[in-house]
């Protein structure tokens, strides 16, 4: 392989997305480039993960991470490199696949940084651990790599660094100290009724009505039980029940997602969900208690304040003070923090602007830019399409500068 074509690599990855723990093509592409750049490469870590190590004398060990997986979303961008891929998900369903969260940007930028850092070892010292992680979307990937003996096999890092593309203006870096990405919990709730003919509801226990009442009551958890100074998001993403208009089904299924920044708030919201689900089932005369099954859990991502100050100085020198801002807490979630927590080291994870700067022509500050961003396709949208430049160049430069800045620390 020759020198990395950033735009071409990005388009290729975007056109060939892969679901969580199915990222074999992406992993092979990354491993091939990394070997060509001179890294010691290990594949199949935690499933499809790739770890690349480059030693450059005494100094800190720095972990730089990119996630690789895509989502079961049908792309509607109309781009010439849009995905038409389909795959079989873990439930056996045939689904469309799209890089609707920008992980193709993350992989491309980390490959670009890998090439730049390997080509100029005079500007940094220590050891690079580059992690191309599977299954971020399911919350399984970081834990799978750690469970596969990551620290024993590759050593413990001194810092964990990474970035996530977002609908902020391309060229902008969003960096925040403290709680930065929310904890996330997903639940599958099964409400049990007693099915029968639609003409005789009195002989049944209707789980559809039970589910509807539960959905409405759950809306009061955030509005009436979470203090105004705290933040929580509770979303019912799916309600599935029945197959025919004149048949009352036996069961209804709700899929819930909860986001919080505080352990006490999280515990209260989770308890409130359990209380309401059981209460509505009892009120409806359900023949048996509902089932509440956790399906996914992400920890809160907390950026270390001292480490953010160090990296922030480097970013300001690299991009200018106007290009680096605190975006506020993000209600999305990330599992990159597992690497830092497991090693007991600081994490610095930032937002990389990926939206067309022209859309922000009327913005005068970050607050107004964030309002404009609300009208743009965001992560997980079938229309999400970061502009290729300056997104990729800035993303590469941010990773390179973060590594060089941390390497040059004297404290």
Question: Distance between CA atoms of 271 and 258, rounded to whole angstroms?
Answer: 12
For 228-369, list the strands marked E by DSSP: 232-241, 247-248, 251-260, 291-298, 301-303, 324-325, 347-355
Q: Is 34 helix (H, G, I), strand (E, B) or coil?
A: helix
Question: Which whole-number Å values give the CA distances from 27 to 16, 41, 118, 119, in the listed order?
Answer: 12, 11, 19, 22
How far apart CA 176 and CA 138 sit, in angstroms, is 24
Residue 106 assigned as binding residue: no
Cα separation, 229 vs 121, in Å, equals 47
Q: Which of 163-187 are b and which e, b meaning 16 or more Cβ less than 10 Å from the residue's Cβ?
A: bbbbbbbbbbbbbbbebbbbbbbbb
268 is in an annotated binding site: no
Residue 137 assigned ligand-binding role: yes
Please choose, from the candidates 292, 312, 314, the residue with its C-alpha nearest in 3D space to the C-alpha of residue 304.
Answer: 312
Residues whose CB falls within 8 Å of the CB of residue 136, separated by 6 or more in sequence, listed in order: 20, 67, 68, 69, 103, 142, 334, 335, 336
Which tokens sit at 250?
């036996």
- Please report which helix (H) or strand (E) contains residue 62, including its range: strand 61-67
| Residue 74 counted as an annotated binding residue | no
> How far is 202 from 309, CA to CA, in rounded Å?
65
Name the nearest CA neighbour of 163 among 173, 154, 155, 153: 173
Instruction: Please check whether residue 388 is in contact with residue 10, taking contact to mean a CB–CB distance below 8 angstroms.
Output: yes
Binding site feature residues: 101, 103, 137, 164
Binding site feature residues for Mn(2+): 101, 103, 137, 164
């Amino acid at each position: 392989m020759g020198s990395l074509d950033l735009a071409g690599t990005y388009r290729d990855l975007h056109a060939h997305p892969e679901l969580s723990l199915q990222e074999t093509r992406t992993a092979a592409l990354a491993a091939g480039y990394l070997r060509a750049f001179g890294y010691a490469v290990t594949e199949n870590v935690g499933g499809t993960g790739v770890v690349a190590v480059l030693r450059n004398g005494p100094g800190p060990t720095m972990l730089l991470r990119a996630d690789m997986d895509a989502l079961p979303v049908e792309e509607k961008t109309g781009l010439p490199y849009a995905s038409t891929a389909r795959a079989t998900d873990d439930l056996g369903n045939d689904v469309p696949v799209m890089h609707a969260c920008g992980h193709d940007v993350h992989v491309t930028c980390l490959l670009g940084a890998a090439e730049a850092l390997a080509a100029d070892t005079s500007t940094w010292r220590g050891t690079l651990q580059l992690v191309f992680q599977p299954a971020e979307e399911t919350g399984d990937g970081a834990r799978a790599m750690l469970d596969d003996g990551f620290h024993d096999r590759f050593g413990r890092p001194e810092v964990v660094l990474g970035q996530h593309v977002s609908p902020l203006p391309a060229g902008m870096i969003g960096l925040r100290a403290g709680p930065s990405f929310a904890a996330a919990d997903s639940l599958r709730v099964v409400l049990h009724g007693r099915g029968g003919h639609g003409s005789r509801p009195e002989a049944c226990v209707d789980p559809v009505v039970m589910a509807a009442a539960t959905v409405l009551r759950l809306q009061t958890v955030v509005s009436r039980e979470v203090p105004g100074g705290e933040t929580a998001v509770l979303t019912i993403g799916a309600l599935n029940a029945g197959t025919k208009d004149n048949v009352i089904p036996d069961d209804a299924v709700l899929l819930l997602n909860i986001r919080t920044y505080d352990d006490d708030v999280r515990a209260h919201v989770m308890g409130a969900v359990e209380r309401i689900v059981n209460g509505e089932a009892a009120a409806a005369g359900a023949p048996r208690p509902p089932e509440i099954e956790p399906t996914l859990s992400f920890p809160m991502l907390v950026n270390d304040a001292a480490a953010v100050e160090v990296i922030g100085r480097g970013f300001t020198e690299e991009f200018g003070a106007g290009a680096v801002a605190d975006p506020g807490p993000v209600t999305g979630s990330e599992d990159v923090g597992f690497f830092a927590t497991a090693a007991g080291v600081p994490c610095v994870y930032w937002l990389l602007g990926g939206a067309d700067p022209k859309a922000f022509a009327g913005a005068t500050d970050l607050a107004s830019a964030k309002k404009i961003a609300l009208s743009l396709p965001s992560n997980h949208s079938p229309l999400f399409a970061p502009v290729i430049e300056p997104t990729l160049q800035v993303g590469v430069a941010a990773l390179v500068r973060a590594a060089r800045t941390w390497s040059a620390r004297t404290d």
